[in-house]
Structure 1
């Protein structure tokens, strides 16, 4: 498994699509208040490098323990939502709406997905502090 500093340095593809404005401490505090959870430090480190966008090919799949319609071993992880309100771009801040729209359990924080498949942080067992 790759060390986090290697992942962090190579995580983002060279694309501006889906990128939110640079992340600030105030944006993080507002997001955590809206979502009702503490976001993981590693996620925030990635979002401080680039606030959402396209994931590099080396990291664009999320392993699963069971076969899916996508693959025997993974689902796509081609984008990571940032924190912000850039027009026409989904964000972690859209989680409450999307959870309601798709009838998902709560509390979740949706990292990527399209409605038929989501990768999320699941706070149901660990509580809001993660």
Structure 2
């Protein structure tokens, strides 16, 4: 693995509560999927928030950049309905309808126009995808979450190009 989970996180700006097994079970039931165990491991260190600033190299150009996509935040699992945060994978159903996203996605990060998702359209083991709804991009980033994490590099690698 390229990035260690204890070296991954930066700010927990929204003060997300610590992730519990009960929260994971509730999320998986609501989303109708089994989440990757490595994602849960990362979220048990910090339940979502801002990362230390990573990017995933891409062989195919996206609307973000010619050769990478960003990962400056990763959504957590917040089951308390009254808790206010924009970094919650449980907003997936609402955002899917709001932005016209393909079904069977779990949103990992994004701003509405673009998303990085866990894509369950081909079965129970999700790939990681880049989806830009305005430009009709739907591109595989990695075949699974572990490969996605393994491919991350500090975003400073691409800083000179921007």
Structure-2-length-normalised TM-score: 0.70
Q: Aligned-pair distance for 1:111?
A: 0.2
- Are 1:106 and 2:103 an aligned pair? yes
- Are 1:26 and 2:22 an aligned pair? yes
- Poorly superposed stretches of 4+, deviation over 3 Å: none
Taking a change above 3 Å as real, the CA distance of residues 109 and 19 of structure 1, as seen in their structure-2 partners, is farther
Q: Aligned-pair distance for 1:16?
A: 2.4
Structure-1-length-normalised TM-score: 0.86
Cα distance in 2 for residues equivalent to 1:16 and 1:88: 11
Equivalent residue, structure 2, for 1:119: 116
Q: Secondary structure at the match of 1:78?
A: strand
Cα distance in 2 for residues equivalent to 1:19 and 1:45: 18
Equivalent residue, structure 1, for 2:64: 70
Cα distance in 2 for residues equivalent to 1:105 and 1:122: 9
User: Is the Cα–Cα contact under 8 Å of residues 107 and 123 in structure 1 kept in the other structure?
Assistant: yes
> Deviation per CA, 1:54-104, whole angstroms, max 9, x where unpaired?
0112xx223333112321111221100000043133301000100111111
Alignment size in residue pairs: 123
User: Is the Cα–Cα contact under 8 Å of residues 82 and 92 in structure 1 kept in the other structure?
Assistant: yes
Bigger strand fraction: 2
- Are 1:38 and 2:27 an aligned pair? no
